[in-house]
Amino acid sequence: MHQTSNEDITKAFNKNARLYDRWMTFFERYVAQGARGWAVSKAYGTVIEIGVGSGLNLPLYGPGVEHVTGFDLSEKMLAIARRRVAEKRIDRVQLHHGDAQALDLPSESADTFISTFTFCTIPAPLAASREAYRVLRPGGVFVLTEHGRSTYPLARALMRAIEPLIIRVSAEHITRDPVPYLMGAGFTITEVRRGGPGGIVFRILARKDDPSGGH
Ligand SMILES: C[S@@+](CC[C@H](N)C(=O)[O-])C[C@H]1O[C@@H](n2cnc3c(N)ncnc32)[C@H](O)[C@@H]1O
């Protein structure tokens, strides 16, 4: 299968940025129903959002969130996010060009990592999981919502068959399951729920254990 690169991601999302919000409105209405709101509701404290994209989560963070730092590889997506922040006068947010697989952040400096529909696009998901583990404080949480392989064998086989084409066209892995990558990075999985058509929508909570037994 074609191995994607950061250049592939940048090219694909710069190209499709203009249509992204419209596509997501459709996707969330018919497929991911409520998953974004669920993910954002789990965030607290100092939040790192990887693949912040056009910033659709930014207006949704609640009062339990002190600050959000968002990273993305696509400048075109970031430009839309910056416009959203300015238009809606959203405070507590900083946006940066940056790579989820190698973040310019100190270790143990965040309470929450959040990835909404980003994990399927990251070229090296284990590297991104390890970065999240490094940057989270002990007791911190990684919240993910994602689309992935169906729970139905026939649908799963069909998805596997068309995945190489989708990867080439839009740099997205449509059968990726984030759980093994998170476990490989050291996370404890505390919740996995599947929903949406064919069970393709994942809602995942993963915790960085606190050896001292604190929060
Ligand atoms: C499908 S969009 C999701 C955007 C947003 N999270 C949302 O919920 O609408 C995936 C985003 O992840 C970004 N992305 C993919 N790989 C990345 C990486 N390694 N580091 C930072 N951003 C990345 C893409 O540029 C794109 O904006």
DSSP E strand stretches across the chain: 45-50, 65-72, 93-97, 110-116, 136-147, 188-195, 201-207
pLDDT tens digits, 91-143: 999 999 999 999 999 999 999 999 999 999 999 999 999 999 999 999 999 99
pLDDT tens digits, 132-173: 999 999 999 999 999 999 999 999 999 999 999 999 988 999
Say if residues 114 and 49 touch (Cβ distance below 8 Å). Answer: yes
φ/ψ of residue 156, rounded to 5: -65, -40
In this prediction, residues 35-59 reach a mean pLDDT of: 98
CATH code for residues 6-11+30-207: 3.40.50.150
pLDDT tens digits, 9-27: 999 999 999 999 999 999 9
Best probe residue, ligand 1, of 114, 121, 130 (max atoms within 8 Å of C-beta): 121
Give the amino acid at 94: Q
Nearest atom of ligand 1 to the alpha carbon of 49: 6
Domain edges within the chain = 6-11+30-207
**Is-above-0.75 flag for pTM?**
yes
Give the integer Cα–Cα distance in Å for 95 and 98: 9
Q: Is residue 86's pLDDT more than 90? A: yes
Distance 213 CA to ligand 1 centre (A): 33
* C-beta 196 within 6 A of ligand 1: no
Distance 65 CA to ligand 1 centre (A): 21
In this prediction, residues 53-77 reach a mean pLDDT of: 98
